[in-house]
Structure 1
Amino acid sequence: MKSILAFFCLWFSVSAWANQLESIRIWPSPENTRIVLDMGTAPAYEYFMLNGPHRLVVDLSQTQSRVKFTAINNNSELITRIRSSKPPVASSYRLVFELKSGVKPVVFPLAPAGDYGHRLVIDLPYADQSRAPQPVVRKAAPVGQREIVIAIDPGHGGEDPGAIGPKKNREKHITLAISRRLADLINKEPGMRAVLTRTGDYYVNLNRRSDIARKGKADLLLSIHADSVANSGPRGASVWVLSSNRANREMAGWLEKQERQSELLGGVGEVISQTDGNPYLTRTFLDLSMDKSRADSYAISEHILSAMGKVVRLHKSKPEHASLAVLKSPDIPSLLIEAGFISNPEEERLLLSASHQQKVSQAVFNGVKSYYRQNRPSGPMVASQASGPARQHKVQTGESLSLIAQRYGVSVSRLKGHNSLKSDVVRIGQVLDIPGS
């Protein structure tokens, strides 16, 4: 009789508390605070906001909690306190997040993936979206040249750990470490500036990564990753560019977003906005923009692979093609760099090493610098007016007289005459006076 009674008590307990709130994790970022509720099973939930003071209330149906609020790591400036409250139904659990200001929360469940089980995700966007990192103080671009901006995207982050190595090290930490080192090298170079798509351990939507690069006026987007396969044998670095199939699919998506073309395509977008909306003309501009972006991406990847091959093992000596979301921008050359295989025990150890991270960063930087020495991007110059101060240019490796003339918007004959040159030959280190345009 006692065993039957115990069975019914257990059955009633399980049925009344069908779910468990196992932990609460908080991921603050420059744009929002993400709250993750780790659940035993798929959550049934409701939520609402209260004012005076500002609070977010979440009711979890048929749930009991194992969470100790004192153990929650809360680094968010928005959340001041987390507590429980009396639920509307005895079998529910009510969570209250006390906030500094009102927000419009975005709440959605996530199915189990990787090391994670069921989750309920709550995004709290900040009212002030101007929380960008302060610009790095650096040397100005050389006279007559505009600044080159490199966007660096540390793969994964926050709720997205990326690949996990044999020793349980997570890709997201390695990519951020290498990206920070690469940004330091770029920011120390006169005339170059780095923009990071994330500066800490938080998640950034894949489409937002290109948007951040675009708002930073980036000439190039480098997405840093660490490879992984089921077999622990493969090792070595590789560089990926957008496949033509993905480029063709993305083209249709860009055409459907006419209202964003000016932002996406810069000068090309301005031309499109001044037309009568002719779809064939629009398609032509987009095709040209995408083709140039893909061609530049491939050329830059060859320079980076050449530099990396001198200091680290390469998995592939030629650029690879893939359908990856972070490579899809038609207006910014974009590359994905796999620094090595985190699934390989030896490379996992190397990828965690500060010296190896610096070696990878230096090689990527050398490749980027090598490309832009030969292919400085077009754009407004620092001193382009005829009435402005005199301009000079010091000839660098890989530069020709015609390339220098094109860069400053003057003819070769005028550049030769202004400098009393008898031939088109220029020497490395030679200083040329640039005539006013």
Structure 2
Amino acid sequence: MKNDKKKVHWLWLLLCCWTGSLSAASNEVQSIRIWPSPENTRVVFDLAAAPDQRSFALENPHRFVIDLRQHKAQSRLPAASGDASLIQNIRSSYTANNQTLRIVLDLSEKASANVFSLPPTGPYGHRLVVDFKGEQRELPVAQARAQRQPGRDIIIAIDAGHGGEDPGSIGPAGTFEKNLVLPIARRLAELINNEPGMKAVLVRTGDYFVHLNRRTDIARELQADLLVSIHADAFTSPQPRGAAVWVLSLRRATSEVGRMLEQKERHSELLGGVGEIIRDSTQERYLAQTVLDLSMNHSMVSAHQAATHVLAELGQITRLHRREPQAASLAVLRSPDIPSILVEVGFISNPQEEQQLRTAQHQQRLAQSMFQGLRRHFRESPPADSLFAQHRSREHRVERGESLSLVAQRYNVSVEALRQHNQLNGDTIRIGQVLRIPD
């Protein structure tokens, strides 16, 4: 009886191995997608099964080779969708004796590659991903770096969530989150750039993926005063709907400060000019922690204020899922030295809201509301060296016994100019009212 059980056990193992080999041998390339971005080029191979592969680079000319083992014979690769200047050609050959498909990517220049596989998720099955990083190119956004001079523009980095290989949430009608948030981000950037004293920069300008950590790094390189990340929410049931705004949780901020303290080579980048002083100090860690803690506190307070203003404006044109800013440990909010908010413009999983989010009219209303909230925030709390701060210094709070003519005389402007600049219908003013003084 024991021998019979052993035989059955071994037969079962052999059957599993044989079945597994058949499954592996049936792998094939179903499609190829190329995603170019300003910093790298991503090539995605959609596969029937998880890949068993090895890869290496060749020079003279520059090529990148991928060997897919246990691969079904494939006469030709499917045509690639998308293109990039780095990828000149993709070709293949097949070795029947060991069932290996060799894929050769002809490159226009030398580029380092990061190769990894991804399991099925969302609309995609098994994938083999190759990220090429070529010679360091200047990001288009880098030209928008703020000049730290009196009267400078307030810099707002706008991050359209997901992108490229990452579609984000998917609505009942098949709408990808990444395709909703980018046009909203572009509309918001246009409104900000039309406002004197404000400058917007898009973290991603097209349909490509930017690593979550890289998004906050880009904001820091820009010396951004605020990072706004735009997303659409989703839930397992279709009922939830409405907008919400998230800020960094204290727990996540504290852990990020600790992580930054360990990165001594980045102290100057994170702490500005103070970093050079701290570097030569025997009390480096304590000083760095003090400065970062102060920076974190300022950023969290500023982000909460901005989130509150944005929520108030959004509530005028759409339903709110949360009426107060929500704290979370989200990757894109991880920077304690840059105020950051994440705006969920609605639930893409709600059929009615999905359709509404797809319309240009609603996207414009959302962008307009976010802009008004951000402008209001920076008018109330402008950076000290900004044009907004200079304008704020030209404000007057009305005191007892003052009239419009007295205020106009004090600042050497006409009553009519003062009236028009503050959109007053008459000459009546009240105690405590703030009047903006025209230049």
Q: Please classify the TM superposition score into its range, dividing by the shorter chain length.
A: 0.7 to 0.9
Specify the alignment match of 1:48 in structure 2.
Answer: 56
In structure 2, do the counterparts of structure 1 residues 233 and 65 end up closer, same or farther at CA, with 3 Å as the change threshold? farther
TM-score (norm 1): 0.82
Pair 1:145-2:151 in alignment:
yes
Conserved 8 A contact 2:150-2:385: no
How far the C-alpha of 1:425 sits from its partner, in A, is: 8.1
Specify the alignment match of 1:430 in structure 2.
Answer: 437
Instruction: Give the 5 Å matches for 1:282-321.
Output: 282-321=288-327
Aligned with 2:435: secondary structure?
coil
Conserved 8 A contact 1:23-1:66: no
Pair 1:210-2:216 in alignment:
yes
Aligned counterpart in structure 2 of residue 241 of structure 1, from 221, 241, 247: 247
Aligned with 1:149: secondary structure?
strand
Conserved 8 A contact 1:79-1:97: yes
How far the C-alpha of 1:52 sits from its partner, in A, is: 2.3
Conserved 8 A contact 1:171-1:226: yes
How far the C-alpha of 1:85 sits from its partner, in A, is: 2.6
Specify the alignment match of 1:156 in structure 2.
Answer: 162
Pair 1:24-2:32 in alignment:
yes
Most deviating of 316-325 and 104-113: 104-113
How far the C-alpha of 1:146 sits from its partner, in A, is: 1.5
Aligned counterpart in structure 1 of residue 368 of structure 2, from 346, 350, 362: 362
Aligned-partner residue type, residue 372 of structure 1: F
Aligned-partner residue type, residue 61 of structure 1: R
In structure 2, do the counterparts of structure 1 residues 206 and 94 end up closer, same or farther at CA, with 3 Å as the change threshold? same
How far the C-alpha of 1:381 sits from its partner, in A, is: 7.4
How far the C-alpha of 1:102 sits from its partner, in A, is: 1.2
Aligned counterpart in structure 1 of residue 42 of structure 2, from 28, 34, 39: 34
Aligned with 1:250: secondary structure?
helix
Aligned counterpart in structure 1 of residue 333 of structure 2, from 306, 310, 327: 327
Aligned with 1:59: secondary structure?
strand
How far the C-alpha of 1:70 sits from its partner, in A, is: 6.0
Conserved 8 A contact 1:171-1:342: yes
Specify the alignment match of 1:371 in structure 2.
Answer: 377
Following the alignment from structure 1 to structure 2, what is the Cα–Cα distance between the partners of residues 426 and 16? 75
Aligned with 1:43: secondary structure?
coil
Provide Cα deviations, 1:218-237, integer angstroms capped at 9, x if missing partner: 10000000000011011111
Aligned with 1:95: secondary structure?
strand
TM-score (norm 2): 0.82
Following the alignment from structure 2 to structure 1, what is the Cα–Cα distance between the partners of residues 353 and 63? 47
Provide Cα deviations, 1:78-116, integer angstroms capped at 9, x if missing partner: 101111135495410011111111111111111222232
Aligned with 2:72: secondary structure?
strand
Aligned with 1:105: secondary structure?
strand
Provide Cα deviations, 1:94-144, integer angstroms capped at 9, x if missing partner: 1111111111111111122223222111001121422425968xxx99x95
Structure 2: gaps spanning 5 or more residues:
1-17, 399-409, 413-430
Following the alignment from structure 1 to structure 2, what is the Cα–Cα distance between the partners of residues 428 and 174? 40
Aligned with 2:324: secondary structure?
coil
Aligned-partner residue type, residue 113 of structure 1: T
Conserved 8 A contact 2:29-2:78: no
Following the alignment from structure 1 to structure 2, what is the Cα–Cα distance between the partners of residues 289 and 108? 37
Q: CA RMSD in A?
A: 3.1
How far the C-alpha of 1:41 sits from its partner, in A, is: 2.0
